[in-house]
Homo-oligomer: A and B are copies of this chain.
Amino acid sequence: MEDKSDDMKRLFEPKSVLVVGASREETKIGYKVIRNMVYAGYNGLVFPVNPKGGEVLGYPIYTSIDEIEVGDEGIDMGIIIVPAKFVYQAIESCARKKVKHNLIISSGFSEIGNNKEETRIVRFARENGMRVLGPNMFGIYSRNAPINCTFGVKDVNPGEVAIITQSGAIGLSMMGRTVVENIGLSAIAAVGNKADLDEADLLQYLMYDDNTRVVLMYIEGIKNGDRFVEALEGTTKVKPVIIIKSGRSKRGAMAAASHTGSLAGEDNVFDDIMRQCGVLRADTINEALSWCKFISHNPLPRGENSVIVTNGGGVGVLCTDACEKYNIQLYDDAQTLREVFTPVTPELGSVKNPIDITGQAMSGAYSEALDAALSCDGIDTVFALYCEKEGFSEQEFSKMIKDNYDKFQKTDKVISFSIFGGEVVDHCLKGLGKMKIPVYGDVYDAVSPVGAVYSYYRYLKNCGGVKVDIDLNFDSIDKIVADVKKQDRFFLLAHEAQKIMNIAGIKIPETRIASSLKDAVQSAEEIGYPVVMKVVSKDIIHKSDAGGIALDLINESEVADAYEAIMKNCRAKVPNALIEGVEVAEMVQEGTEFIVGAKIDKSFGPIVMVGLGGIYVEVMKDVAFRAFPLKQKDVVSMIQQIRSYPLLLGVRGEERKDIEALVDSIIKLGSIIYRCHGISDIEVNPVLVYEQGMGVKALDVRILLSRD
């Protein structure tokens, strides 16, 4: 990907802004945008334009863009707030003033089917060295400028969360919500219809921005998934990315498609590729905001050992459940736990994790237990739970929590609190929440953000390595495909698909066509016993009924007998049939049935897949996907992700299967899709996986070509 961070710098840190459609009327967007810029303390040049002229908030309004004098450096940003039909004209005049980025707030384009005008505008902009954000968007806030040229909330909290949103309504409401939740923003950008710039471009800036500690995206559909994947992989190497993607359900995906005109794609493909990129996916907006808040104020964990400290057994159990749900490992070194917590745990408590300091524990005892956890080197993360007891004092408890949080913050240990009770607890929660201390009213809420953090922690530990690049004879494959396309055919015949498998070095059942008894025997000897034999004749449809099939032939004499029998049977049953010979094929050994495939996904481009094969594909839907190109370990993690993975490790005393050969075949299929021209789909179902070292065998291969 070309480095566009400099371009993007002019978007997020503009030195000059042109507002086409500025207004003096306070209810108009053309006013609010300028009001918000002023309020945010923007100190660059502002050029409001409106044919009516006048003045807005101290800025003189130009009646025409052409009145504005600009130097060679041009103007960094043009904000377009005029009706759709005037936008092209506005962009033309922006070009004359060397505007770099056009933020088209105006709506009335592809979101209502007016794709033509949108395309015309973007083409003109690109031809004139300009970029477009939008149309149909609400502006940008950027702490670094500082600038708030949105028509949303004017009093944004500066902070370390960057938000990119495809939905205007949700984006504006999220801005409001960040104020309520006391979440600080480094940037917020609406991408609208993504006619030109999209999330991948904005990430080019945000990934390098030191003020951005976490990026949150609300997405409805992906257009250029391969660029997006590359940008995400770059970003997640240095900071966490959280995504909410609506259209998770089938029906939701349809609704999203009709709403934004962008294709939602299969949600499980999206989900798996986000996992591959190390992205944290949140289900709900509240969950995503909660993760952002936690991540922007807390360190990454240093290890996996978590301890629960509780004053009630019940919430301790609930928290244990929550830890399993969010994939958090509880520390289990019984001896260390005993040594650390026995001095601070009453006799009736428990020094097994969860550590139960019992209902007697008031704030002092609580503090002691947390101190003990803090001083133990083996403990990385603490969940501190409290159920309200008589004698609970808001002041005392709030202070205890704040003090302990501060102590943890001085180290690289993570702590999350959950307190549960009535009105006093509620006050306590609200007060501490404002101080950005992670305190929650439900144990699951306290565990969820830590789960997200651990998920990112594990990704970071494991995200190194290079992408596979294997060398196959792609030219030969291209030639086969080209020959098929010449016939206006968009699927490969069995022997063509088999040729490609041979080129890729993926084993298929061996077959020979024999036209004589001698040939048949020789073929069988070459293939190796046992073999199966089938009559080859266009005139014999039901080979089995005609006695034209023989199975499990184990030596020369059986092959000879079967050959004679097949000829005799077929001649008797279908007297006039033209018999070309027999097909002699390897009798395939039983193996574990999987499915592997590669295809060009409409959102993401080349992707690979693996799953439980045979008749179980549709029923169990136990499949996983990854974007291609990828690292070898991505393929391994894809295979480990499917529920039927244990079948490959061997169940019920079976041997471990040849996982390496399965990985190899997936990489080969992915490489073919990625490097060869015109193939849209390769599916092998079933692929039989044999014991380690014995490889795999592709039983049924289906290859489709793209029609464009």
**A residues near B, CB below 8 A?**
27, 32, 112, 151, 153, 166-170, 172-173, 175-177, 179-180, 218, 220, 244, 246-252, 255-256, 258-260, 283-286, 311-318, 320-321, 323-325, 330, 348, 350, 352, 354, 356, 359, 387-391, 420-423, 425-426, 441-445, 615-616, 618-622, 643-644, 646-647, 651-652, 654
Contact = CB atoms under 8 A, between A and B. Distances in A.
A444 to B, nearest CB: 5
Contact of A647 (B167, B285, B615): B615
Q: Which of A179, A180, A445, A621 has the most CB of B within 10 A?
A: A180
Contacts of A249: 320-321, 323-325
B285 A179 contact: no
A387 to B, nearest CB: 4
A169 B285 contact: no
Contact of A387 (B170, B244, B441): B170
B420 A170 contact: yes
Nearest to A174: B420
Given A169-B314, A173-B388, A251-B330, 14 more contacts: A32-B390, A112-B348, A167-B312, A168-B359, A172-B421, A173-B422, A246-B318, A246-B320, A255-B316, A259-B314, A259-B350, A284-B444, A286-B445, A619-B647
Contacts of A248: 321, 324-325
Contacts of A173: 312, 387-388, 420-422, 425
A519 B32 CA distance: 99
Contact of A317 (B180, B247, B422, B619): B247
Most chain-B CB neighbours within 10 Å: which of A177, A255, A352? A255
B348 A314 contact: no
A256 B218 contact: no
Instruction: Give me the 6 closest cross-chain CB pairs, A-B, nearest first.
Output: A176-B422, A169-B312, A167-B314, A249-B324, A259-B313, A169-B387
Nearest to A612: B620
A252 B320 contact: yes
A620 to B, nearest CB: 6
Nearest to A267: B321
B421 A177 contact: yes
Nearest to A170: B314
Contacts of A618: 646, 651-652
A176 to B, nearest CB: 2
A442 B284 contact: yes
A655 to B, nearest CB: 13
B615 A652 contact: yes
Given A180-B423, A312-B170, A615-B647, A246 B284 contact: no
B317 A259 contact: yes
A121 to B, nearest CB: 19
B442 A285 contact: yes
Contact of A619 (B169, B260, B646): B646
A311 B169 contact: yes
A242 B647 CA distance: 38
Contacts of A442: 284-286
Given A312-B170, A441-B286, A444-B283, A321 B420 contact: no
Nearest to A422: B176
A411 B542 CA distance: 66
Contacts of A354: 255
A289 to B, nearest CB: 10
Contacts of A286: 441-442, 444-445
A318 B285 contact: yes
A643 B180 CA distance: 43
A176 B421 contact: yes
A387 B171 CA distance: 9
B420 A313 contact: no
Given A356-B259, A615-B652, A246 B314 contact: yes
Given A252-B324, A643-B620, A258 B422 contact: no
A609 to B, nearest CB: 18
Contacts of A177: 420-422
A621 to B, nearest CB: 8
A437 B330 CA distance: 40
B422 A388 contact: no
Contact of A313 (B169, B311, B620): B169
B388 A260 contact: no
A257 to B, nearest CB: 9
A453 to B, nearest CB: 20
Contacts of A444: 283-284, 286
A680 B210 CA distance: 64
Nearest to A392: B176
A273 B103 CA distance: 57
B151 A324 contact: no
Contact of A643 (B112, B313, B619): B619
Contacts of A616: 644
A515 to B, nearest CB: 31
A324 B259 contact: no
17 contacts: A167-B312, A169-B313, A172-B387, A172-B388, A172-B421, A179-B422, A179-B423, A246-B318, A249-B320, A249-B321, A251-B320, A252-B318, A252-B320, A255-B313, A255-B354, A258-B352, A260-B313
Contacts of A615: 647, 651-652, 654
A430 to B, nearest CB: 11
Given A312-B170, A618-B646, A153 B251 contact: no
Contact of A252 (B252, B321, B388): B321
Contacts of A352: 255, 258
A424 to B, nearest CB: 8
A608 to B, nearest CB: 22
A38 to B, nearest CB: 17
A216 to B, nearest CB: 14
Nearest to A107: B348
A422 B180 contact: yes
Contact of A620 (B316, B323, B644): B644
Contacts of A172: 387-389, 421
A422 B285 contact: no
Contacts of A350: 258-259
A423 B255 contact: no
A148 to B, nearest CB: 14
Contacts of A220: 314, 317
